[in-house]
């Protein structure tokens, strides 16, 4: 591997999914994993297997399906996170070992504030624990990554000691996280340069950077780290992650590409996939992307439309430093209409990266025809919304069988809902609410008795045009569920669930989205047997 | 003024408002201007007066109302943008001269690519034009700023020559824009340092930085420029602006504050106003802010809720580098309920920065009581939504008088709309659509005949809870309108209009938002007399 090659370590499925409400189902995680492999990431951090048996199973599925490419070609490393405990490391290993290239990633904080208040360990105890647990991880797996958590606020001299110990114990990648997004680019670059200069035995290891965006500096810090000699960047799609998020994959990759002569660095990323992956992750997590987000925002390439009409813009580069085509942005255009056949749909879906079997294609073709009756032009964005709505839903315990709503300024908004329960029995309930969505949700609640709090509710029109498909994402918090373990804070967080629905009728889409989130909540509550089983089957290839 | 003082130059109303669909009404611009003054910005770039008579008038109103503080206290500089032409500079001066501290900002590109393809001028011609027009601007106004557009891609040696010429001609501030968001922090810092070192006569001038976020580096580049000696930062609220946007005010201010010992720089910003301003700008422009946006995203301070419950987090700083209170984030909490009186509402609105007269308070109090009947707890976010919906609407040509909708999975979504036209006549129309919003919009279209294309449609629940107020923002493009002049590209852009509506019924909110955008479009079409007159009157103080 050339010394100018930057390994892209994607942690959308671990640090990204850890952000409030970004919870994905096992099926969604698998689909994102497949997409990341197509995108060309070098390492996929697939989750934190010790969090729960479901999380372990989700990581294991990705290790099996994405970590082994039956058609040959490049296979990404599949990585699992573990705290520095035997239990965590064993679970991580259990989850990732089916992969062709497994990696265990373990971490222990090294900043004074974390050691004193969170770990309650002395420096000596931290060094000892790192030595012991990296040794143990290495006894299981040849590829071991160690992160000194909160390195950005750690004493650099202590970092050199801990990292040297980790190297002696067998660590092959040393990841330097700015956990709280506190450092400035010059500082962070200096930290990396110091580590490379002062850590005994570091030469054969890969140094990695992992930044957070609390001050809006994650991309700049990551690039400063790479310029200083780091050769792995830990990133997420759309920069999702806790608080202000992680470094955005698309920003780092496109900065390296756009300014290649300055950096002299390369990645294995197929940038044309970036827009598609951005949309996929946004749909599945319900974390919407603002219009003025770099690279993947709806306005990021706003000049495109005018370019061909405007005689004054003789040279595209006057206001454009990269082409929308280079990140696949311009592909989201009109493709199909009412007269398009099954074959045209199939080949368009293939080129979008969706490999559907015949049954799945039948389902999508029906939805497509139905939509084409209502809407003149079907775009890629519409197709992606249909796929997300139809195929990547969680196991459906309760199914929407019918909805009728009346609302407006004059009366009392009323919704009548008909649901099919897990035993196939139909239930009908009508409710009044403050609006049509509130009424529909109340009617659903009166059938599905499951305490929850709505955290977020967002509707987007998929495409321009008043007849667009409406996409709804909701996020609910289960009021009575056991909490989820956060690996870093070692604390329990409330469990939240995202739901997604698409329909030309936004009230119908809202009801679908709420049911999809409720179904995830019910699966997680364990009242309905093995979590996720059905969902995975529905998309197994 | 201390040499460590950074002037914050806010261009939300100029470069921010220039981004597609962020168009604000004159009344909205004035309210944002007032908010910026309260926030403590040093310079408000209020617009581009030569764009149209409306734009000139909007800037003039801000100069009158915000540029002269009758109660004493600090008064911001009011700045108007002008190309290097006599006409533009005269119009800018006409608009800003009522301000206590007016500034003319003129620009001419200096990069080879812009000079060759856009300006078709030689270097000598550019220098000559800058000399001539800065001299003219200075003959009108003592405070003149000059920007060499696309400085980030300009030959630095040529920059030194142009800037020295501008200084000799009377420029007092020299603003260095990275117009296309191309530079890296080290490069941009180096550019600023080189300018300070090599430009003859620069000592008494203020050097300013103006960055764009195309590679996600706007904040880092701005900070690098300040570290290199620039003493003015050009920014926008939420980082709105064309493409990936401008540098975000909140990121620069909070980085300087959080890392003060490193920077040793200060601003005059009252950071506690940041969250309120973010919300105001997001509402008026319809540019929503993603959850993981630094400082102002919904998740930016996600730890807050857990902090007090979690015994493990002995020290808040373990995962937190600034307190939500420091940017006013935690103030958006429960304040009022159904039994709150007029006085409680008034004092809460005052503390949010809304100074309403008795009539306005009456209107809002009615809406408040009505909402309190439906919703147990009224938060600051609800109040801001009500104010935006009720008071800062454009001149209402068509008024929603009634709406009745039926929809669902079984039938044909149907909407009946009753509108009051500008002459007070009522019109009723029913339409079928692909969903309730489509049906409502078609019914509105059959009454208001005005060709337009829907560009964006977004619904947000204002607050947690299923009974939340729904906020809808839409963006439409007038199909038959004259286009708008873009000062930099010297090209015409399609005119787009944002609309906003809030209601517990999202179909009603959607209809209101569409009507509000349509009313803006009709006003701009000039068929209904002087634009904006009525809107401004309704909030004059």
Are the beta carbons of B319 and A491 separated by less than 8 Å? no
If you average pLDDT over residues A364-372, what whole number do you get? 83
If you average pLDDT over residues B476-491, what whole number do you get? 72
pLDDT level of residue A269 (50, 70, 90 thresholds)? very high
Are the beta carbons of B255 and A310 separated by less than 8 Å? no
Max Cα–Cα distance, chain B, nearest Å? 76
Work out the minimum CA distance from B69 to partner chain A, whole angstroms.
33
- Determine the pLDDT at residue B425: 94
> Which token pair is A341?
């056949």
pLDDT level of residue A539 (50, 70, 90 thresholds)? very low
Q: Is A454 helix (H, G, I), strand (E, B) or coil?
A: strand
> Which token pair is B24?
């604000």
Q: Is the pLDDT of residue A79 over 50?
A: yes
* Closest CA relative to residue A210, chosen from A18, A486, A489, A15: A15
If you average pLDDT over residues A296-309, what whole number do you get? 59
Chain A positions in Cβ-Cβ contact with residue B438 (cut-off 8 Å)? 466-467, 504
Q: Long-range contacts of range B377-380, CB-CB < 8 Å, 24 or more positions apart?
A: B377/B334, B377/B336, B377/B337, B377/B465, B378/B334, B378/B335, B378/B336, B378/B337, B378/B340, B379/B332, B379/B333, B379/B334, B379/B335, B379/B462, B379/B463, B380/B331, B380/B332, B380/B333, B380/B335, B380/B348, B380/B352
- Determine the pLDDT at residue A302: 57
Do residues B313 and A315 make contact, with C-beta atoms less than 8 angstroms apart? no
Q: Is the pLDDT of residue B423 over 60?
A: yes
Residue to substitute from A116, A217, A292, A322, interface B, most B β-carbons within 10 A = A292
Predicted complex ipTM: 0.80
> Which token pair is A369?
């025809």
pLDDT level of residue B531 (50, 70, 90 thresholds)? very low
Separation CA A314–CA A316 (nearest Å):
6
**Bridge partner list, B103:** B79
- Determine the pLDDT at residue A306: 33
The CA-CA-CA angle for residues B483, B488, B489, to 5°, reads 60
pLDDT level of residue A536 (50, 70, 90 thresholds)? very low
If you average pLDDT over residues B444-461, what whole number do you get? 82
> Which token pair is B18?
């220039």
Burial class of residue B500 (count of CB atoms within 10 Å of its CB; 0-12, 13-18, 19+) = buried
pLDDT level of residue A501 (50, 70, 90 thresholds)? confident
| Strands of the sheet with B470-478, listed across from one edge | A496-503, A470-478, A452-461, B452-461, B470-478, B496-503
The CA-CA-CA angle for residues B480, B481, B487, to 5°, reads 140
Question: Tell me: the pLDDT tens digits for B249-307?
Answer: 999 999 999 999 999 999 999 999 999 899 889 878 878 888 899 999 888 875 543 33
Residue to substitute from B233, B409, B460, interface A, most A β-carbons within 10 A = B409
Q: Is the pLDDT of residue B530 over 60?
A: no
pLDDT level of residue A529 (50, 70, 90 thresholds)? low
- Determine the pLDDT at residue B268: 96
Q: Is the pLDDT of residue A268 over 80?
A: yes
Q: Is the pLDDT of residue A113 over 60?
A: yes
- Determine the pLDDT at residue B417: 95
Are the beta carbons of A411 and B402 separated by less than 8 Å? no
Residue A18 backbone phi and psi in degrees, to 5: -70, -10
Residue B219 backbone phi and psi in degrees, to 5: -65, -45
Do residues A494 and A478 make contact, with C-beta atoms less than 8 angstroms apart? yes
The length of chain B is 541
Question: Tell me: the pLDDT tens digits for B14-63?
Answer: 999 888 767 787 888 998 999 999 999 999 999 999 988 888 999 999 99
Do residues B478 and B520 make contact, with C-beta atoms less than 8 angstroms apart? no
Looking at residue A289, the DSSP 8-state letter turns out to be -
Q: Is the pLDDT of residue B412 over 70?
A: yes
Q: What Rg, from alpha-carbon coordinates, does chain A have?
A: 24
- Determine the pLDDT at residue B25: 77
Exposure letters B133-156 (e unless 16+ CB within 10 A, then b)? bbbbbbebbebbbbbbbbbbbbee
**Bridge partner list, B101:** none
* Alpha-carbon distances of A486 from A19, A223, A495, rounded to whole Å: 10, 28, 11
- Alpha helical stretches, state H, A313-357: 342-351
Q: What Rg, from alpha-carbon coordinates, does chain B have?
A: 24
- Determine the pLDDT at residue B314: 52
- Determine the pLDDT at residue B180: 92
pLDDT level of residue A310 (50, 70, 90 thresholds)? very low
Tell me what the pLDDT averaged over chain B comes to: 86
| % of chain B surpassing 90 pLDDT | 54
Work out the minimum CA distance from A139 to partner chain B, whole angstroms.
32
Q: Is the pLDDT of residue A319 over 60?
A: yes
If you average pLDDT over residues A372-399, what whole number do you get? 73
pLDDT level of residue A386 (50, 70, 90 thresholds)? confident
- Determine the pLDDT at residue B452: 86
The CA-CA-CA angle for residues B376, B381, B383, to 5°, reads 75
- Determine the pLDDT at residue B332: 44
Question: Tell me: the pLDDT tens digits for B459-472?
Answer: 765 544 555 677 78
- Determine the pLDDT at residue B325: 82
Could you write out the DSSP letters of every residue in A31-57? HHHHHHHHHT-SEEEEE-GGG-HHHHH
Do residues A442 and A452 make contact, with C-beta atoms less than 8 angstroms apart? no
Q: Which of A212-226, B361-375, B469-483, B499-513 has the highest mean pLDDT?
A: A212-226
How many C-beta atoms lie closer than 10 Å to residue B480's C-beta? 9
Residue to substitute from B113, B219, B243, B399, interface A, most A β-carbons within 10 A = B243
**Three-state secondary structure of B345-391:** HHHHHHHCCCCCCHHHHHHHHHHHHHHHHHCCEEEHHHHHHHHHHHC
Question: Tell me: the pLDDT tens digits for B105-131?
Answer: 999 999 999 999 889 999 999 999 999
Q: Is the pLDDT of residue A222 over 80?
A: yes
**Bridge partner list, A378:** A336
Are the beta carbons of A406 and B404 separated by less than 8 Å? yes
Q: Which of the two residues, A452 and B184, has the higher pLDDT score?
A: B184
If you average pLDDT over residues A183-193, what whole number do you get? 98
Are the beta carbons of B405 and A410 separated by less than 8 Å? no
Do residues B117 and B151 make contact, with C-beta atoms less than 8 angstroms apart? no
* Positive or negative torsion for Cα B476, B477, B480, B481: positive
Are the beta carbons of B436 and A214 separated by less than 8 Å? no
* A:B CB pairs within 8 Å: 375
Separation CA B55–CA A317 (nearest Å):
29
pLDDT level of residue B154 (50, 70, 90 thresholds)? very high
Do residues A541 and A353 make contact, with C-beta atoms less than 8 angstroms apart? no
Q: Which of the two residues, B492 and B85, has the higher pLDDT score?
A: B85
Q: Is the pLDDT of residue B203 over 70?
A: yes
Please tell me the least confidently modeled range out of A441-445, B125-129, B226-230, B382-386: B382-386
* Closest CA relative to residue A60, chosen from A23, A107, A97: A97
Could you write out the DSSP letters of every residue in B389-452? HHTSPPP-SSEEEEEEEEEESSS--EEEEEEE-TTS-EEEEEEE-SSHHHHHHHHHHHHS---E
Work out the minimum CA distance from A414 to partner chain B, whole angstroms.
10
Are the beta carbons of B187 and A262 separated by less than 8 Å? yes
Separation CA A207–CA A188 (nearest Å):
13
* Alpha-carbon distances of A264 from A196, A229, A258, B304, rounded to whole Å: 19, 12, 11, 41
pLDDT level of residue A309 (50, 70, 90 thresholds)? very low
* Closest CA relative to residue A420, chosen from A437, A403, A406, A438: A403
pLDDT level of residue B482 (50, 70, 90 thresholds)? low
Which residues contact residue A138 at a Cβ distance below 8 angstroms, ignoring those fewer than 6 apart? A144, A169, A170, A171
Question: β-pairing, B206-211 with B173-178?
Answer: parallel
Separation CA A428–CA A415 (nearest Å):
10
Are the beta carbons of B180 and A321 separated by less than 8 Å? yes
Q: Is the pLDDT of residue B538 over 90?
A: no
Q: Which of the two residues, A150 and A330, has the higher pLDDT score?
A: A150
């Amino acid at each position: 591997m050339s010394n100018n090659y930057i390994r892209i370590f994607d942690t959308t499925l671990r640090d990204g999914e850890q952000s409030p409400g970004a919870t994905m189902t096992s099926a969604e995680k698998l689909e994102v994993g497949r997409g990341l492999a197509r995108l060309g990431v070098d390492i996929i951090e697939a989750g934190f297997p010790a969090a729960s048996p479901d999380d372990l199973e989700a990581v294991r599925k990705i290790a099996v399906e994405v970590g082994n490419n039956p058609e040959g070609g490049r296979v990404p490393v599949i990585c699992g996170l573990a705290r520095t405990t035997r239990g965590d490391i064993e679970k991580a290993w259990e989850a990732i070992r089916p992969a062709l290239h497994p990696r265990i990633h373990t971490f222990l904080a090294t900043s004074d504030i974390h050691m004193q208040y969170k770990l309650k360990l002395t420096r000596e105890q931290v060094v000892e624990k790192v030595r012991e647990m990296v040794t143990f991880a290495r006894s299981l797996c040849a590829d071991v990554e160690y992160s000194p958590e909160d390195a950005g606020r750690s004493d650099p001299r202590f970092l050199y000691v801990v990292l040297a110990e980790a190297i002696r114990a067998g660590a092959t990648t040393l990841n330097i996280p700015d956990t709280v997004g506190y450092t400035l680019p010059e500082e962070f670059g200096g930290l990396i340069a110091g580590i490379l200069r002062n850590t005994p035995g570091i030469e054969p290891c890969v140094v990695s950077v992992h930044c957070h965006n609390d001050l809006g500096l994650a991309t700049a810090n990551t690039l400063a780290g790479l310029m200083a000699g780091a050769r792995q960047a830990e990133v997420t799609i759309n920069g999702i992650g806790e608080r202000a998020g992680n470094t955005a994959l698309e920003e780092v990759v496109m900065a390296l590409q756009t300014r290649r002569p300055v950096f002299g660095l390369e990645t294995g990323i197929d940038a044309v996939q970036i827009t598609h992956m951005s949309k996929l992750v946004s749909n599945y997590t319900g974390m919407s992307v603002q219009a003025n987000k770099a690279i993947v925002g709806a306005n990021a390439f706003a000049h495109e439309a005018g370019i061909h009409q405007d005689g004054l813009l003789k040279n595209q580069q006057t206001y454009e430093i990269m082409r929308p085509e280079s990140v696949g942005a311009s592909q989201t255009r009109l493709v199909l209409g009412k007269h398009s056949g099954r074959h045209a749909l199939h080949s368009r879906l293939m080129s979008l990266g969706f490999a559907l079997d015949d049954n799945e294609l039948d389902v999508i073709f029906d939805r497509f025809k139905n939509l084409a009756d209502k809407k003149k032009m079907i775009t890629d964005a519409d197709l992606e919304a249909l796929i997300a709505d139809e195929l990547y839903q969680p196991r459906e315990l309760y199914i929407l069988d019918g909805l009728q709503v009346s609302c407006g300024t004059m009366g009392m908004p009323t919704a009548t809902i008909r649901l099919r329960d897990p035993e196939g029995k139909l239930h009908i309930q009508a409710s009044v609410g403050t609006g049509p969505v509130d009424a529909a949700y109340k009617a659903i609640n009166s059938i599905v008795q499951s305490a929850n709090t709505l955290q977020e509710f967002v509707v987007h029109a998929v495409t321009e045009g008043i007849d667009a498909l409406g996409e709804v994402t909701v996020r609910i918090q289960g009021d009575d569920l056991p909490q989820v373990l956060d690996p870093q804070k070692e604390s329990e967080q409330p469990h939240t669930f995202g739901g997604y629905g698409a329909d030309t009728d936004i009230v119908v889409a809202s009801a679908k989205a709420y049911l999809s989130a409720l179904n995830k909540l019910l699966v997680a509550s364990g009242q309905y047997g093995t979590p996720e089983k059905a969902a995975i089957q529905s998309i197994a290839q």
